[in-house]
Amino acid sequence: MRTNSGLAEDLLIELDRDAGVPLHRQIEASIRASIRAGRLRAGASLPPTRTLAAGLGVSRGVVVEAYQQLVAEGYLASRSGGYTQVAASMPPAAADADMMGQPAARSVGFRVDFGYGRTDVSQFPRPAWLRSVRTVLTTTPNDRFAYLDGRGVPELRQALCDYLNRVRGTLVVPANVVVCNGYGQGIALLIQVLARRGARRIALEDPSSGDDARVLAGAAGLEVVGIPVGPDGVQVDALHRADADAVVLTPSHQWPTGGVLSAAARAEVIGWARRRGAIVVEDDYDAEYRYDRSPVGAMQGLAPDHVVYCGTASKTLAPGLRLGWMVVPAQLVADVAAAKLLADRGSSVIDQLTFADFLGRGEFDRHLRRMRPVYRRRRDVLLDALRTHLPDLRPAGIAAGQHVVAWLPPDLDEAAVVAAAARHGLGIQGVGPFRIAGAGPGGLIFGYAILSESAIAEGVALLATAIREVRES
């Protein structure tokens, strides 16, 4: 087909129906390559899905699937009026460092990429966010756009209090909220403050994220000790033996295993913190996206004087917003706010006021209600595919979040499976690199948030082929 400019009717795409590669994947690859080579410039309109499907001799659904995947990857953007354009900025050749901070060796060359820690930014609620931006820009007095104190704008701190107390069961007042540029900055500020106050050792879940707390604690001169994680979260008896001044937990959906810290274990951790005068850092990871269980309240509501609650808009809305928040005990909040002010003079006032309006109008709640069934369907497709193609893998942590861990049977080596998967065009990571002690069962991390349902099914089929290869070698 010929290429055209403006509102395109034609697009050069060559399909090989004998290649054994799904047609929608071939369309994706062709458009992706044209964008990266500069043949399709930023802002160029693509043919309507019906037009392109007719020209290629495929069903419209095949083209829709290809467009949706490229929107999720950031190559295309859907516009009002039902047409699709090349995005204004092109994704890098290798995907950005993922949300858990690892410089994941992701590549757009993968046919399917189960990279974790990514949210579907194509679902960002642009119209609702734009209404809030307009409200802020038309109603906010000029003097509000000046520098502010390190805690953040009062409107957002109040809106966060209202939301967290209502939805997460916290006990928060605005004076204890510090707005930051995402979880990474928040934990960095907190570790700085704890180190200056004499902390020497910090406990982390094992396995856990390899970035943020682990790296920052080491840089601050703190000793890092891993606390083993079981099906129900961190093993509290090991925490008692750790002699730590603080512990970082993901109690609502442990990363990466997906366990939920039980009520009894939460009470034990709180008791440990009170006896030692220690701090519990509650990273409320994936708490908003739950599918098969009732919500679990935040630990902060049990012990506001010993728990630092951390939240972020990165997984719920978009990481590019760079909006996060901490609920800090009274004895630490002034130091944390001062560290924030010194770091960058405060987060964007306009973005804070916009998010405050967005929260206050109930748009955040509506967005979460809309997205839960979307992610749940993708998760269900993943679980069905695993049951069909790989029944000897054991999925875990499936009741919430945007990823699933599947434990490998003893005869499979994790690193060998990951390498074989890559050879078959599948991007996936194992649990092993995120262990502190270095020992434990093999497992695979399936991030499904940005993948279409057909891509998820295809990815599991590729993995099954890779595992057969490993077993036969």
Q: Are strands 246-249 and 279-283 parallel, antiparallel or unpaired?
A: parallel
Could you tell me if 408 and 441 are in contact, meaning their C-beta atoms sit under 8 angstroms apart? yes
173 and 280 share a domain?
yes
Least confident of 64-78, 290-304, 395-409: 64-78
What average pLDDT does the segment 71-78 reach? 81
pLDDT in tens, 144-200: 998 888 999 999 999 999 999 999 999 999 999 999 999 999 999 999 999 999 999
pLDDT surpasses 70 at 92 = no
Same domain, 358 and 374: no
- Same-domain check for residues 317 and 351: yes
Compute the Cα dihedral for 441, 446, 447, 449 and give only its sign.
Answer: negative
Burial (CB count <10 Å: 0-12, 13-18, 19+), residue 345: exposed
Its domain, for residue 60, covers: 23-86
Give me the number of domains the chain comprises. 3
Q: How far is CA 48 from the centre of its chain?
A: 31
Q: What is the pLDDT of residue 79?
A: 67
82 and 219 fall within a common domain: no
Is residue 51 included in any domain, yes or no? yes
Helix (H, G, I), strand (E, B) or coil at 82: coil
CA R_g for the chain = 23
**Integer Cα distance of 50 and 312 in angstroms:** 39
Q: What is the mean pLDDT of residues 252-281?
A: 95
So what's the pLDDT on residue 106?
Answer: 45
Whether 142 and 331 have beta carbons less than 8 Å apart is answered as no
As a whole number of angstroms, the distance between CA 5 and CA 227 comes to 58
229, 317: one domain: yes
DSSP-assigned beta bridge partners for residue 177: 327
pTM, whole model, 2 decimals? 0.77
pLDDT at 94 over 50: no
**Which pLDDT score is estimated for 1?**
38
End-to-end CA distance of the chain: 44
Strands 443-447 and 403-407: antiparallel
Kindly report the CATH number assigned to the domain that includes residue 80: 1.10.10.10
Band the pLDDT of 37: cuts 50, 70, 90.
confident
Q: Are residues 299 and 350 in the same domain?
A: yes
Phi, psi of 277 (to 5 degrees): 65, 30
Q: Is the pLDDT of residue 432 over 90?
A: yes
Taking only the tens place, the pLDDT of each residue in 210-258 is: 778 888 898 889 999 999 998 888 999 999 999 999 999 999 999 999 9
pLDDT at 189: 96
Distance (Å, rounded) from C-alpha 222 to C-alpha 195? 7
pLDDT at 4: 34
| Domain final position from 365, 388, 411 | 365
* Segment 191-199 long-range contacts (CB within 8 Å, at least 24 positions apart): 191/216, 191/217, 191/220, 191/222, 192/220, 192/339, 193/332, 193/335, 193/336, 193/339, 194/222, 194/245, 194/246, 194/279, 195/220, 195/221, 195/222, 196/335, 197/335, 198/245, 199/245, 199/246
Domain assignment of residue 320, yes or no: yes
Residue 98 lies in a domain: no
User: What is the per-residue pLDDT for 5?
Assistant: 36
Question: In this structure, are 345 and 449 located in the same domain?
Answer: no
List the structure tokens of 74.
């950031």
User: Quick check: 190 and 281 in contact, CB under 8 A?
Assistant: yes
Is 105 among the domain residues?
no
pLDDT above 50 (res 7): no
* 278 exposure class (CB count in 10 Å sphere: 0-12, 13-18, 19+): buried
Which helix or strand (DSSP H or E) is residue 237 part of?
Answer: helix 236-240
Residue 6 has pLDDT above 90, yes or no: no
Average of pLDDT values for 46-68? 87
**CA–CA separation, 245 and 282 (whole Å):** 14
CB atoms under 10 Å from CB of 244, counted, come to 25
> Which residue type is seen at 215?
V
- CATH number of the CATH domain containing 398: 3.90.1150.10
**In a shared domain, residues 407 and 352:** no
Q: Using one digit for the tens of pLDDT, what is the confidence trace for 323-346?
A: 999 999 999 999 999 999 999 999
Q: Where are the alpha helices (DSSP H) in 119-209?
A: 126-139, 154-167, 182-196
Grouping H, G, I as helix, E, B as strand and the rest as coil, residue 113 is strand
Residues in the chain: 473
Write down the residue that tokens 């990273």 correspond to.
Answer: 283
Name which of 45, 57, 56 is nearest 4 in CA terms. Answer: 45
* Short-list 443, 431, 434, CA closest to 395: 443
Three-class DSSP category at 126:
helix
User: pLDDT by residue (tens digit) across 193-221?
Assistant: 999 999 999 999 999 987 788 888 988 89
Residues 167 and 249 occupy one common structural domain: yes
Contacts of 454 (CB under 8 A, 6+ apart): 22, 24, 65
Q: Are 335 and 347 in contact (CB under 8 A)?
A: no
Asked whether residue 258 falls in the same domain as residue 351, the answer is yes
Confidence of residue 23 (pLDDT cuts 50, 70, 90): confident
DSSP readout, 55-67? HHTS-HHHHHHHH
Note whether 300 and 416 are same-domain residues: no
Confidence grade of residue 136 (pLDDT, cut at 50, 70, 90): very high
The mean pLDDT of the chain is 90
Sequence-distant (≥ 6) Cβ neighbours of residue 108 within 8 angstroms: 32, 36, 73, 91, 93, 94, 95
Could you tell me the pLDDT band of residue 316, with boundaries at 50, 70 and 90? very high
Same domain, 311 and 208: yes
